[in-house]
Amino acid sequence: MTHKPWDGRFAEATDQAVEAFTSSIAIDRRLYRQDIGGSIAHCRMLARAGIIAEEEARQLVDGLEQIRAEIENDRFVFNDRLEDIHMHVESRLAEIVGGVARKLHTARSRNDQVALDARLYLGTETRRIVRQLHALRQAVVDAAEANFGIIMPGYTHMQRAQPVLLSHHLMAYYEMFTRDSDRFRSALERIAVNPLGSAALAGTTFAIDRADTAAQLGMPRVAANSMDAVADRDFMLEFLSAASICMVHFSRLSEELVLWATSEFNFIELPDAFATGSSIMPQKKNPDVPELIRGKAGRVFGDLVALLTTMKGLPLTYNRDMQEDKAPLFSTVDTLQGCITIMTAMLPRVTFKKEVMRQATRSGFLNATDMADYLVGKGLPFREAHAVVGRAVAYALSQGKELDQLSLEELQTFSGAIDMTLFAALDVEQVVNRRTSEGGTASTMVEAAIKQAVAQLAGESLPEVESV
């Protein structure tokens, strides 16, 4: 029979159905590296503090490293009766080193232990995500450079609005993903806080050195309040929130790729390797990858809401409800990393159809605002100029023409301020390149933005994805 740490208090064994219901080993077994690494750091600190003997510490560390090797070589036996990864490691350690294993848990609880494991895991995966986003952002910039000069319609309300450079459109996503990266970098500061030494909730009577443990684990700070350290999961919530925002950006980009791949838009050709066909319609080429990314956003949003809901009504400190924190966390980490990887691989292979995009700018009165700006330059107030152009658009619609297809005589019926110079102002390249305000779509501005992004990426310091 497998003994539990609390057997001394109970007169009867735990019901097997309860063991199965309360077990989390199927989920938290992936924390084994963090659990063992945290235990090794704790063990060494106990020895340096004189709480256990150096020889005992050596035996414990050797045993823990053996367990790590057994798990990694798929030779470790998991059992629901032992509930979680902490109890599995402790039980196996006792089999390897004997009674000295019982000293490892001195001055700690599973409450601060699981908080440490989660922080170590999330720190590693967040650093990995920052590196992945760096590669994605580089792919976006590369696409903007490779397709520089392509003009396409910009949209509001899904209606053609004004012409923009495709590179300008792509660089909008560079800015979004850069802010996502910044959010994850910032979150790392609040993830890398050592809770170990908080014990169950009140701290410990032993003269431990929490700074020692933190230093071994690469954590700059220790948690300032033992109750807060074991009771809150806001570092997870912050990560899930940043991941959800990032998935919004992925979903929007995916939606555009899906639309642009349709026959109605025909702006892009997705690579065959990133598309699938139909089981019944031989002609189909489906944009499954961007569709799935768009769909997976909902999973990440759900993970955030799930953990928010779990935490919102819990009194201090630890409650067993918090066992449910890891499933949404792992789900989001896996989903987000998968989406970043696949988009980074797919984006460089998307073919943008230059002539189709440019032709789309020639209808829909995308130069109407520029005609209004032209009239403002002639002295008309903008609101009056807006009304003049609106009447000109209505007339052009009745004639089945665009503004630049009307004759000078027709245009002058709407305003005597119009002369031949208007036609140059309505040219699509002029419309694009006159937008030289900071952040605008003019070629000079977009070229400068790309150069700035290239320099930013080259100068970024990427975090190491070390593991304990």
Question: In angstroms, rounded to a whole number, what is the distance separating the alpha carbons of residues 207 and 272?
Answer: 63
**Gap between the Cα atoms of 132 and 451, Å rounded:** 21
CA distances from 155 to 35, 141, 158, 163, 256 (A): 51, 21, 5, 9, 11
Contacts (Cβ under 8 Å, ≥6 apart) of 183? 242, 245, 246
- The answer to whether 130 touches 185, Cβ cutoff 8 Å, is yes
Instruction: Record the tokens describing residue 461, joined without a space.
Output: 């310091």
437 flagged as catalytic: no
Structure tokens at 315: 């009194």
Q: Classify residue 259 by burial, with Cβ atoms within 10 Å: 0-12, 13-18, 19+.
A: middle
Options 186, 278, 363, 467, the catalytic residue: 278
- Extract the tokens encoding 290: 């961007």
Q: Rounded distance, CA 162 to CA 154, Å?
A: 5
Helices and strands (H and E) in the chain: how many? 19, 6
Q: 């700006």: which residue's tokens?
A: 373
Annotated catalytic residue 278:
yes
Do residues 31 and 121 lie in contact, with contact meaning Cβ atoms separated by under 8 Å?
yes
Distance, in Å, from the CA atom of 462 to the CA atom of 311, rounded to the nearest integer, reads 32
CA distances from 461 to 171, 404, 450 (A): 21, 50, 19
Take residue 287 and report the two structure tokens written for it. Answer: 């944009």
**Catalytic option among 3, 86, 105, 157:** 157
Which residues are catalytic, by number?
157, 278
